[in-house]
């Protein structure tokens, strides 16, 4: 492939990615104004795109976005029908309301309709940002989710950022000091941290630094210290990124172009930052999707341990209370986030590494 053609392809890839992502992001950011007809239109455009583009890039992007949409749909279907299979309706408690009240309630929540129709109604609600009403608290689930998610998003955001920055830093240090003391120490701790589940890490941190040493206050509404929850969430992904960076950095440092750069007299720091690190970071990008999933699920237990009142806490409360609409809404919301993160990290991976074959 000659240079101009590659440049053209790269430019095309960027344009396609941006357009598709804009469509996708618009879909999920503006949930309330997205109706099923617009979504249908988007899907049709994407299918047309997948069939139309003769080059692999466009087809790949369209296919991946379609697969992501399909995954979200399947998750919603599994969640809905699984929850529907549970015996007993939301109003069949010990103190059953009178038949007339029950009829009104069923009418209001469309429980008298067939299951298929209920599912379509639920999907329509989802697209307008309506996740239903909690059976325990009676509040709108969407407000609960969006209120509590701001805390989880902050926690998760800090954790992800720190995990990537520190992971890359430690990984590079380990690779550059191969088989020396620094490398040994870093690898020892990362091997250890990978084996510690986040809830154990959270509880031990709480025990040592909050209760025994009193270095940090216990998390409460007016005293929000994010340090310990972020550390508990961050350590395991950081360790994974450290190992990933170390392996790929060692791989890159053995390449010919690094030797060429050194032979030309390029300074050590320039070699590391400009030539080695940029290529060594590529595998880290693929880990961003799984890391998001890990942090979102990890935050359920970490937030319960520190009682931060974020989405994780609410989800676990929902599970303990068997609050089915709440479990459904949160599952679909978190799953959508995870699928989007995986999609983004895969697309960016293809974008930054032109050596990768599409399909």
* Per CB under 8 A, 338 contacts another protein: yes
- Of 96, 115, 165, 200, the one binding another protein (CB under 8 A) is 200
Query: Least distance (Å) from another protein to the CB of residue 119?
Result: 16
Query: Least distance (Å) from another protein to the CB of residue 98?
Result: 26
Query: Least distance (Å) from another protein to the CB of residue 329?
Result: 12
User: Alpha-carbon distance 222 to 188, whole Å?
Assistant: 38
Query: Least distance (Å) from another protein to the CB of residue 322?
Result: 7
CA atoms within 13 A on the CB side of 210: 17
User: Alpha-carbon distance 330 to 325, whole Å?
Assistant: 9
Binding residues for another protein, rule CB under 8 A, total: 44
Footprint of another protein on 287-316 (CB under 8 A)? 293, 297, 300-301, 304-305, 316
Look at residue 140 and give its three-state secondary structure.
strand
List alpha helices for the chain, DSSP H. 3-29, 36-52, 56-85, 99-108, 115-127, 141-176, 181-194, 198-205, 227-253, 256-263, 268-270, 278-280, 282-306, 311-321, 324-352
Tokens found for residue 296? 């979102």
User: Alpha-carbon distance 329 to 129, whole Å?
Assistant: 10
Look at residue 220 and give its three-state secondary structure.
strand
* Per CB under 8 A, 127 contacts another protein: no
**CB-based contacts of 233, cutoff 8 Å, min separation 6:** 155, 156, 159, 198, 202, 295, 298, 299, 302
CA R_g for the chain: 25
By beta-carbon proximity to another protein, the closer residue of 115 and 192 is 192
Footprint of another protein on 21-50 (CB under 8 A)? none
Closest CA to 344 of 278, 281, 287, 277: 287
Query: Least distance (Å) from another protein to the CB of residue 271?
Result: 25
By beta-carbon proximity to another protein, the closer residue of 204 and 270 is 204
Query: Least distance (Å) from another protein to the CB of residue 86?
Result: 5
Query: Least distance (Å) from another protein to the CB of residue 199?
Result: 5
Encoded one letter per residue, x for contact with another protein by CB under 8 A and - for no contact, window 52-91 reads ---------------xx-xx--xx--xx--xx-xxx----
* Per CB under 8 A, 165 contacts another protein: no
- Of 126, 241, 272, 334, the one binding another protein (CB under 8 A) is 334
Tokens found for residue 311? 């989405």
CB 270 within 8 A of CB 323: no
* Per CB under 8 A, 213 contacts another protein: no
Footprint of another protein on 231-290 (CB under 8 A)? none
By beta-carbon proximity to another protein, the closer residue of 72 and 168 is 72
* Per CB under 8 A, 199 contacts another protein: yes
Tokens found for residue 246? 């170390």
> Given the rule CB under 8 A, which residues bind another protein?
67-68, 70-71, 74-75, 78-79, 82-83, 85-87, 191-192, 194-197, 199-200, 203-204, 206-207, 211-212, 293, 297, 300-301, 304-305, 316, 319-320, 322, 327, 331, 334-335, 338-339, 342
């Amino acid at each position: 492939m000659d240079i101009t053609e590659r440049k053209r392809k790269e430019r095309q890839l960027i344009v396609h990615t941006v357009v598709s992502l804009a469509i996708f992001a618009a879909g999920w950011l503006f949930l309330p104004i997205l109706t099923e007809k617009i979504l249908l239109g988007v899907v049709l455009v994407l299918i047309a795109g997948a069939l139309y583009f003769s080059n692999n890039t466009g087809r790949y992007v369209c296919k991946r976005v379609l697969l992501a949409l399909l995954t979200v749909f399947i998750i919603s279907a599994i969640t809905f029908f699984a929850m529907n299979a549970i015996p007993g309706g939301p109003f069949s408690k010990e103190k059953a309301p009178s038949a007339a009240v029950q009829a009104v309630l069923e009418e209001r929540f469309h429980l008298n309709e067939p299951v298929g129709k209920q599912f379509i109604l639920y999907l329509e609600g989802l697209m307008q940002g309506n996740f239903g009403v909690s059976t325990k608290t009676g509040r709108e689930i969407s407000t609960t989710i969006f209120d509590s998610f701001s805390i989880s998003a902050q926690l998760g955001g800090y954790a992800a950022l720190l995990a990537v920055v520190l992971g890359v830093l430690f990984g590079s240090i380990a690779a550059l000091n191969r088989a020396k003391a620094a490398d040994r120490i870093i690898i020892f701790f990362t091997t250890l941290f990978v084996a510690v589940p986040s809830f154990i890490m959270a509880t031990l941190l709480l025990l040592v630094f909050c209760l025994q040493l009193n270095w940090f206050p216990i998390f409460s509404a007016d005293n929000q210290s994010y340090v310990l929850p972020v550390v508990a969430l961050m350590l395991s992904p950081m360790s994974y990124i450290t190992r990933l960076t170390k392996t790929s950095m060692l791989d890159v440092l053995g390449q010919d172009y690094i030797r060429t750069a050194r032979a030309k007299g390029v300074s050590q720091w320039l070699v590391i930052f400009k030539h080695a690190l940029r290529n060594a970071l590529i595998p880290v990008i693929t880990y961003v999707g799984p890391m998001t999933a890990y942090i979102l699920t990890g935050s359920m237990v970490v937030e319960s341990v520190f009682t931060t009142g974020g989405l994780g806490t609410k989800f676990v409360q929902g599970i303990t209370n068997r609050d089915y609409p709440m479990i459904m809404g949160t599952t679909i919301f978190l799953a959508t986030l995870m699928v989007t993160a995986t999609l983004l990290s895969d697309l960016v991976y293809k974008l930054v590494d032109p050596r990768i074959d599409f399909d």
